[in-house]
Structure 1
């Protein structure tokens, strides 16, 4: 389906990683067609993209420069998408198996929610990137106006 992206979420990049969730992403046009109650289940990607939180791990066969250009092009698209993320395995809670109900997850939508240096430290080291450099490279990306129903779990606080 061309209007839907499906992203698998693993607990690591290692060969034995556990599949812990899935994120669905749709365009603003598709999101706008949803009923208001459905819209509240989705989040924007502006902060994830502009802050440098979101990266696409570099596949083999790309130089750093080639991958930076490809990733920036992808971020130009992703910044306009809305996501709905389900986590179904809480490995951070120590669960050996995917126990309990799936949990609808949001994403950070502003700098007040977390310390990026702490939150991104291990990721930055693992992948040899830095969120501040990513943010600088993405500073000119222009997001759309975020729908008022998106990110509802944060707005309700």
Structure 2
């Protein structure tokens, strides 16, 4: 079975597109009707859009721009569907969970290795909330700078995958080390799209404090030079009675 670092074989459909027919008028009407009568409460609970960047844990040469739509279960836990853009036809490429420092510190060391820190990502102006004034963003960013995230990518669109194929890939956050720096061209394109200047963003975040210490288990590649790739393996199925 496919590994998260294994490029898939030939895929159906035209080059560069997701396989499938154009949506019919009837389907559009049905979808609109469903939106009116159904609550869609989890979706409506999304309160923020963050644009940032991520690397594959098994290949730091691959940098992607990501769009996270944040909903908060409580003050210490956020969950974010992640898309490849903020357009109406954006592809859902993964999910990130974000936890506060004290929850992270309570996790076992082996689990902590799957999580990344957010301090550099925020201080360096890589993480932005498009359309929000920087003064308003800073209120949230002061808290987020001390959080940790676990991000699973389920659709590697940057390598041309037209479908979500193979095993999920663990993602990591940008860092100040050379290996963890984002391709400057990606940042320029981001700045142009949202009409911002990274230098101004960085200057405005000068007062945001880092955690006193960032766990040695988080950002695992920084301390070990090793990444993670996920393999799907066949195993014996556990069986049991269908009812208690």
The two structures have a TM-score, normalised by structure 1, of: 0.89
- Indicate the residue corresponding to 1:46 in structure 2: 119
Find out whether 1:146 has 2:219 as its counterpart: no
Unaligned runs of 5+ in 1: 59-63
Deviation at 1:156, TM superposition (A): 1.2
CA distance in 2, matches of 1:122, 1:72: 23
1:72/1:116 Cα in 2 relative to 1: closer, same or farther (>3 Å)?
farther
CA distance in 2, matches of 1:75, 1:106: 19
- Indicate the residue corresponding to 2:78 in structure 1: 5
The two structures have a TM-score, normalised by structure 2, of: 0.59
Which of residues 11, 33, 43 in structure 1 aligns to 2:106?
A: 33
SS of structure 2 residue aligned to 1:139: coil
SS of structure 1 residue aligned to 2:143: helix
Q: Is the 8 A contact 2:134 2:201 kept in 1?
A: no
SS of structure 2 residue aligned to 1:140: coil
Task: Give CA-to-partner distance per residue, 1:48-93, whole Å, 9 cap, x none.
Answer: 00100001122xxxxx6xx222211111111010011110001111
CA distance in 2, matches of 1:111, 1:138: 20
CA distance in 1, matches of 2:186, 2:103: 31
CA distance in 2, matches of 1:16, 1:99: 19
Instruction: Compare relative contact order (CA 8 Å, sep 6+) and give the higher one, 1 or 2.
Output: 1
Task: Count matched residues.
Answer: 150
Larger radius of gyration: 2
1:129/1:139 Cα in 2 relative to 1: closer, same or farther (>3 Å)?
same
Deviation at 1:119, TM superposition (A): 2.9
Task: Give CA-to-partner distance per residue, 1:78-133, whole Å, 9 cap, x none.
Answer: 10100111100011111111111111110111152325532311111111112221
Unaligned runs of 5+ in 2: 1-72, 226-244
- Indicate the residue corresponding to 1:155 in structure 2: 223
- Indicate the residue corresponding to 2:134 in structure 1: 68
Q: Is the 8 A contact 2:118 2:147 kept in 1?
A: yes
CA distance in 1, matches of 2:130, 2:107: 31
CA distance in 1, matches of 2:204, 2:169: 33
Larger strand proportion of the pair? 2
- Indicate the residue corresponding to 2:163 in structure 1: 97
* 4+ aligned runs moved over 2 Å, structure 1: 113-119
SS of structure 1 residue aligned to 2:190: helix
